[in-house]
Amino acid sequence: MSTRPRKRRWIRRVLLSVLLLALIVGAAAGWVYWKATRPPAWWETVRAADPVVVEQKAQEVESRVTTELSQVRPAPAPAAPAPGAKGSSGSGSSAAPNGRFTVALEDDEATAWLEDRLTAWMANRNAEWRWPVRFSMPRVAFMGSGGSSAATGAPGRVKLGVSLKEQGDEKKGLVVWAEVAPTVDEQGRLWLKAERMGIGRVGMGASTALATGSGIMERINGGQQSKDVDKILRVLEGREAAVQRPVISLGDGRLVRLVGLRFSDGKLEAELEPESRR
């Protein structure tokens, strides 16, 4: 007679435990979903609310950067010969100025340019290029962590995100983002290794996100990975440089090469120098 009540109490405890576990799992899932559907804190701060302000800012930053890049500067001087070598005076005199200069850009300026100018800029270089219809224009946020040239050490961070539009309205879409560490190495190559990726306010390590994304893309493509997607994954994983030779060609035929990057919160400084054509 006494075993039956004990069995009933045991069953009741098990059911209560299962119910409590289900409530905890449900609450955790709801909390994660809530965070994923909310844009990250930086998303709204890097873009002006008024489209007219965005357009004006894009025009201003493009004009300013174009002017700075187009100024006539001395080309880098050739390396001085070693003491005692042919052509060396042995005087130890310093090399001529290398013409390096810095162009600064704030994250709201970069975001304005991307929104207002990126599509036209890309189409001018590739008439068949089209921005994905379901994606908003990208937004960026700069985070300071020192310099990222070979000489200055640890890289800063750039957060880059897009909103996946829902029924044509980007305000209702999920914000997908990546946090990358741009670096310029000793060979002058530009690297864009991802450190973190996420949806809304939910982030995870880039290696986990990239492995998951790669598997999804392979299943979508029938077990095959497109060359473009594979290239992007290799760059974000840090297995391949994004740009082997980051050189900008100016309208008059001159070249300017990126040699370093420095970051502070909300600001990027690109160090450049004139380069002779090879």
- pLDDT tens digits, residue range 205-219? 888 887 776 555 555
Q: Is residue 187 part of a domain?
A: yes
Query: pLDDT at position 74, please?
Result: 66
Q: Is residue 76 part of a domain?
A: no
Q: Is residue 82 part of a domain?
A: no
Q: Is residue 131 part of a domain?
A: yes
Query: pLDDT at position 249, please?
Result: 85
Q: What's the structural domain count of the chain?
A: 1
The answer, as to whether pTM is greater than 0.85, is: no
Query: pLDDT at position 107, please?
Result: 93
Give residue-wise pLDDT tens across range 170-207: 566 789 899 999 999 888 899 999 999 988 998 888 88
Q: Is residue 77 part of a domain?
A: no
Q: Is residue 25 part of a domain?
A: no
Query: pLDDT at position 167, please?
Result: 59
Q: What is the span of the domain harbouring residue 199? A: 41-71+99-271
Q: Is residue 218 part of a domain?
A: yes
Q: What is the DSSP string of the chain?
A: --HHHHHHHHHHHHHHHHHHHHHHHHHHHHHHHHHHTSPPHHHHHTS-SSHHHHHHHHHHHHHHHHHHHHS--PPPPPPPPPTTSTT---S-PPPPP---EEEEEEHHHHHHHHHHHHHHHHHHH-TT----TTBPPPEEEEE--EE-STTT-S--EEEEEEEEEETTEEEEEEEEEEEEEEEE-TT--EEEEEEEEEETTEEEEHHHHHHHHHHHHHHHTTT---HHHHHHHHHHTTSS-SBSS-EEE-TTS-EEEEEEEEEETTEEEEEEEEE---
Residues of the chain scoring pLDDT < 70 = 1-4, 74-98, 145-155, 166-172, 213-229, 277-278
Query: pLDDT at position 172, please?
Result: 67
Q: Is residue 170 part of a domain?
A: yes
